[in-house]
Amino acid sequence: MHPAASIIAFTVASGAGFGLIAALGLPAAWGAAPTGALFWWGFVVAFALAIGGLLASTLHLGHPERAVRAFSQWRTSWLSREGVLAVATLAVAGAYALSILGGLPVARILGPVAAVLSLVTVFATSMIYAQLRTVDRWHTPLTPVAFLGFALGSGVTIAAALHAATGEARLWPIAALVFTAIGWIARRRAWNAGDRRAPTSTPETATGLGHLGRVRLFEAPHTGPNYLLKEMGFVVARRHAEKLRILAAGVGGFVPMILDIVAWAGVAPALLLSLSAILLLAGLVVERWLFFAEARHAQMAFYDRSHT
């Protein structure tokens, strides 16, 4: 699948933004809603990431001026649900922020509600991909697990950095580490499963001619490029993919988790946790690029020349 920059930015940034909203919202349940500098930095960064990501997602639309129509089909469409949930989450999170400013007790309820809505939004984002039977690498429960792990991993790491910079990091670096680990374990398992899995659809099933013999494309229907091949025919060299996986998991997983531990031990926590968050997000950009670039779409079976 074509790794569009706008979609990579959307999923990584909005995931981190909603993860941060969850990290700011849940503590309100036990009366630890963010205040002071943590409040301002937290909500500004969270809204910037979440809204920035959502705006980036409209860049790949053929008709962004009609984007408001995408809120209408939540009964069947995960993409529509994602849009509705994102707006609902931002509205509740905004109300939560205002209730903290106003010192209203309703913050204790609005915070956890915003946190839960954030996670449901990220789940809906992941289901846009996980629902597609046409893409074997995406059509697995590991897709929502990885998306939720990475959203919480990046959001909580940012929250940990902000806690460290404005007060005390306490157990936040450990929480960041745990969620980051969940994301990467799910991703590693999905990579392995995807490598092992035989394609659901083959040239034989695509043409229904498998009973006659091995099937391969002999002559393509068109001599130039087309939308289908540009959008779904993207292929990444296997050896490059393996290097990029190691790079992504190293920069976005291993190093940030080491930094989280060192920061938790009390060494320059604000600096190290900020670095951890930046590296994690950089690693996630590579991870998300691979998420698209490595995914093979079923319709490519109609273009498969490999069988002999």
Partner 1 sequence: MTALPGKTDRTLGLVIDLDTCVGCHACVVSCKEWNTGGYGAPLADADAWGAEPVGAFLNRVHTFEVTPDSGAAMNVHFPKSCLHCADAPCVTVCPTGASYKRAEDGIVLVNETACIGCGLCAWACPYGAREQDPVEKVMKKCTLCVDRIYNDNIPEQDRIPACVRTCPAGARHFGDLSDPGSEVSRLVAERGGFDLMPEQGTSPVNKYLPPRAREPESIDLAALCDTDLAEPTGFFAWLDRALERL
Non-local CB neighbours of 145 within 8 Å, separated by 6+ positions = 182, 186
- We find the least distance from the C-beta atom of residue 300 to partner 1, in angstroms, to be 8
**Interaction residues for partner 1, span 118-177 (CB under 8 A):** 128, 131-135
Provide the residue count of the chain: 308
Per CB under 8 A, the list member of 36, 105, 198, 219 interacting with partner 1 is 219
Non-local CB neighbours of 300 within 8 Å, separated by 6+ positions = 232, 233
Nearer to partner 1, 60 or 197 (CB): 60
- Do 282 and 124 form a contact (C-beta atoms < 8 A)? no
Non-local CB neighbours of 157 within 8 Å, separated by 6+ positions = 176, 180, 256, 260, 273, 276, 277, 280
Letters for 18-57 (x = contact with partner 1 by CB under 8 A, - = none) are: ----------------------------------------
222 sits near partner 1 (criterion: CB under 8 A) = yes
Nearer to partner 1, 128 or 177 (CB): 128
Per CB under 8 A, the list member of 52, 207, 245, 270 interacting with partner 1 is 207
How many Cβ atoms are within 10 Å of 200's Cβ, its own excluded? 14
The CA–CA distances, whole Å, from 214 to 68, 201, 205, 245, 308 equal 47, 14, 11, 33, 7
Nearer to partner 1, 215 or 285 (CB): 215
Three-state secondary-structure class, residue 135: strand
Three-state secondary-structure class, residue 13: helix
73 sits near partner 1 (criterion: CB under 8 A) = yes
The CA–CA distances, whole Å, from 250 to 151, 242, 261 equal 18, 12, 15
Per CB under 8 A, the list member of 29, 47, 200, 278 interacting with partner 1 is 200
Element (DSSP H or E) covering residue 285? helix 269-293
Classify residue 140 by its DSSP letter.
Answer: S
Per CB under 8 A, the list member of 17, 24, 54, 80 interacting with partner 1 is 80
Nearer to partner 1, 68 or 237 (CB): 68
Per CB under 8 A, the list member of 215, 248, 272, 273 interacting with partner 1 is 215
Per CB under 8 A, the list member of 216, 247, 254, 282 interacting with partner 1 is 216
Binding site for partner 1 (CB under 8 A): 1, 60-64, 66-67, 69-73, 75-80, 83, 128, 131-135, 200-201, 203, 205-209, 211-222, 224-228, 231-232, 297-299, 301-303, 307-308
